[in-house]
Structure 1
Amino acid sequence: MSLIQLRTFVEVYRHRSLSEAARAIGITQPAASQHMASLEAQLGHPLFDRHSRGVRPTAIADDLAASIGGSLDVAETALATARARSSRMSGTVHIAAPSDLLGEMITPRLGPLLDAGLDLRLHIGGREALYSMLLDDKVHLAITASQPDDLRLASEILGEERLLAVASAAVAERIAEFSLAEGLDQVSHLAYDLDRPLVRTWLDENGIELARLPRITAPDLWVLRSALCAGLGWSVLPGYLTRAEREAGILVEIPAPVSVPRNPFHLVWARYSLRHPRVALARSLLVEAFRSEAPIVVAVKTPGFAPAPPP
């Protein structure tokens, strides 16, 4: 039972397909089939039932996958990272994230990757697009505000963002003319889309319901920030995205009556991709870049309604 046979088994198990598993680890489909046949012969039991759309694992395969767990990924990642650090690395790594997260949080931390000799190609996309790019081998690493549930993907928390309700001082004063819940409903609010993902999280955390839909929607948080600075309403944005505006007094925080939600963001990769030393090194350096800095501090709750000072 060789390492390559186990690797092939793990990828067939994850992909439920011999052809996709072969593509993931860079071998031919006949070679993948041969690895599985050899492994089944050694175990004396079939591992997969073949059908028109791929393969279906047997109970023996489920047991074998459970016993291996993530140990094979960990071992290969450690080996690839050590190999990369032992000499100057070269090659290209593709990294993707939502535009605001990429611009505000990721790009300023890419220096160590360049210093290590890597060339970088940056891509922009939403959650589903990012997962698709990873699984289609279009990018090596992605940063998302959600944790993947696909077995073919792995993730690690890089940090967390505080979700702050913010507005211009003039809009905040208009809201303050009412009770907080009524003021938030009376004054126009802005959101990513009609589902209001960030706004809804903040409202749910603080037990507030709105009867009205957002007056402006835009699937770009930088656009929403610009609209807030122009005094077009209030919204909820990640703290990192409005820090400079709050420090300059262009925007103020609307204090949360209960608590400020915190949302982790994740570094995500296709499990098999860390077999490549340059990708393993890029992942390690990105994690180090975030871990070496002070953790994000949650703003202290302020009673009453008054603009909260920037953190």
Structure 2
Amino acid sequence: MNEPGRFDWSLVPSFLAVLDAGSLMGAARALQAQQPTLSRHIAQLEAQLGVDLFERTGRGVQPTAAALALAEAARQMASGAERLSHQLQQRALAQQGRVRISASQLAACYLLPALLAQLQREEPGIQIELVATDAVSNLLRREADIALRLFRPEQTGLVARKLGELAIQACAHRDYLAQAGAPRQPQDLHRHCLVGYDQNEAILKGFAAAGLPLTREAFALRTDDPVAYGQWVLAGAGVGFMPRFWVRHQAEVVALLPGLPTPRFPVWLVVHREIRGNRIVRRAFDFLAQRIPAEL
């Protein structure tokens, strides 16, 4: 039972509706409620306050002095509740929207899918658009909200955070190694079928740094498409060179030659300075900044 002087705040809208309408019937129409329900609310409020709020007349109800004394405070409370409801609604809407993320084909296909799926589960109101391209999306022209890049941007107006380094790992499918054997040292690679890049010289530069200068022709299979490259390795075509995060998630692929000095690329998360304050973009940026380093 409620203590005297204390009442249920949820009864206030019914009290104000009856006060403004001058009758239970009119208040019921205004609130789209049942007249017996409002009558019960008023009776409950009177019981809780220990005073009569309305006098029943033939034409409706008349507020008592106690009701008039409570009216201003009740209206202030109703106005505050309305403001609070509006703020909560605006906050909920702020968590709904779209974020467009640009990344290389390699990152878009192998690094980001699981992470972005987790972000969407945590924030179901956020719609995520992933642009898989090796072309540099122009954040200044708003072609994307967030970009994952392997170089630090030079343009002013962008905010960049270094997340770590993408390391390349020599690897091969178990089926290939069962037939060709596993290379024990870098020199053994000469007798293996190698999967390389076509126009991209990153692997050639990595071998040169290791003291193993190779020509483009040393690689029997060549492509610059990261998806096709990964599929060649998964098909057991030969020894390839893929990001360590990719190798780690392939149960049938074996990491090889851990001491081989393969290329390492810095990974930057970039956002336009002006939209960093957008709640949706900020949430996605902070999420990726927290999760990607562990994957790298």
Shorter-chain TM range is 0.5 to 0.7
Whether the 8 Å contact between 2:102 and 2:132 is mirrored in structure 1 is yes
| Deviation of the 1:272 alpha carbon | 2.5
Cα gap change, 1:233 to 1:258, in 2 (>3 Å): closer
Whether the 8 Å contact between 2:102 and 2:137 is mirrored in structure 1 is no
When the two structures are superposed, what TM-score results if normalisation uses the length of structure 1?
A: 0.55
Cα gap change, 1:254 to 1:273, in 2 (>3 Å): same
1:137 alignment counterpart: 142
| Deviation of the 1:143 alpha carbon | 1.0
Aligned partner letter, 1:267: L
Whether 1:279 aligns to 2:284 is no
Cα gap change, 1:112 to 1:177, in 2 (>3 Å): closer
Which of 105, 126, 134 is the equivalent residue of 1:118? 126
| Deviation of the 1:203 alpha carbon | 1.7
Whether the 8 Å contact between 2:204 and 2:215 is mirrored in structure 1 is no
Aligned partner letter, 1:160: E
| Deviation of the 1:87 alpha carbon | 2.9
CA distance in 2, matches of 1:114, 1:151: 34
Cα gap change, 1:204 to 1:152, in 2 (>3 Å): farther
C-alpha deviations, 1:106-146, integer Å up to 9, x for none? 222233355333211111111xx2333x2321210011222
Which stretch shifts more, 220-229 or 204-213?
204-213
Q: Secondary structure at the match of 2:136?
A: helix
Percent identity for Structure 1 against Structure 2: 21
1:104 alignment counterpart: 110
Whether the 8 Å contact between 1:163 and 1:202 is mirrored in structure 2 is no
Whether 1:233 aligns to 2:256 is no
Which residues in structure 2 correspond to 1:183-262 (within 5 Å)? 183-197=188-202, 199-200=203-204, 202-213=206-217, 214-245=219-250, 248=251, 250-259=252-261, 261-262=263-264
Q: Alignment length, in residue pairs? A: 202
Q: Secondary structure at the match of 2:91?
A: coil
C-alpha deviations, 1:176-205, integer Å up to 9, x for none? 689733x423433222323332x2354244
Aligned partner letter, 1:125: T
Whether the 8 Å contact between 1:184 and 1:210 is mirrored in structure 2 is no
For the aligned residue pairs, the C-alpha RMSD in angstroms reads 3.1
Q: Secondary structure at the match of 1:131?
A: coil
CA distance in 2, matches of 1:135, 1:215: 41
Whether the 8 Å contact between 2:163 and 2:269 is mirrored in structure 1 is yes
When the two structures are superposed, what TM-score results if normalisation uses the length of structure 2?
A: 0.57
Q: Which has the larger radius of gyration?
A: 2
Which residues in structure 2 correspond to 1:24-43 (within 5 Å)? none
Cα gap change, 1:225 to 1:155, in 2 (>3 Å): same
Cα gap change, 1:276 to 1:200, in 2 (>3 Å): same
| Deviation of the 1:255 alpha carbon | 0.7
2:4 alignment counterpart: none
Q: Secondary structure at the match of 1:146?
A: coil
Which of 170, 180, 186 is the equivalent residue of 1:165? 170
1:288 alignment counterpart: 290
C-alpha deviations, 1:37-79, integer Å up to 9, x for none? xxxxxxxxxxxxxxxxxxxxxxxxxxxxxxxxxxxxxxxxxxx
2:81 alignment counterpart: none
Cα gap change, 1:109 to 1:180, in 2 (>3 Å): closer
CA distance in 2, matches of 1:184, 1:216: 14
Gaps of 5+ in 2: 1-86
| Deviation of the 1:268 alpha carbon | 1.4
| Deviation of the 1:273 alpha carbon | 2.5
Cα gap change, 1:258 to 1:223, in 2 (>3 Å): closer
